[in-house]
Structure 1
């Protein structure tokens, strides 16, 4: 991203910003005045009607952030690592989607599609941040 790891971390770790950069989201329910922190919880409404409940599980300012989410029989994790580089920062995303019972196959399909969607969403976040810096 064309911004510092600090700027990227501050933006990406705040659930209130997610509908702006995450293409699958319609809304996020988190108190407007609540600052991001370890253990923060929120819920989301996605474009396909999924309403997961999420929690911040790693919160190391400007270095690492992670979440876990649950919806019915599906669980997902997303972890972001931030590294300053010349001209900005690198954000490395890793994640996993799993399902139990009848949810195993749909979760597997979602996991296969997730990496491209996450990469596109992070590129969009980078463009948003770059436009604010400029």
Structure 2
């Protein structure tokens, strides 16, 4: 991959990482609010439901943060954009759609087919 294009992917990944970390900080700050400000049980239950939903979203984002950091490491060590299964370059369209991917489209399709056959 051309160095200029690699730099663009790196910049986009770093920007997304900053966004996700900022959202995580907002959630932590928001969670610090005391439930005592909602004396009505229905309001408290609604708040708890909203918080649980938010925590599930943040957990998914936490996993994405980890994948972004791994992608940035691959950029640094020169393996970004190379399929970890077959060693072939990952198509740029695939990287644009899923910049944290480690598999080319063919290997990912094969992996998904195996998962369906196993019932996973």
**Which band: TM-score by shorter chain?**
0.3 to 0.5
Structure label with greater radius of gyration: 2
In terms of fraction of residues, the more helix-rich structure is 2
Provide the TM-score with structure 2 as the length reference.
Answer: 0.33
Provide the TM-score with structure 1 as the length reference.
Answer: 0.30
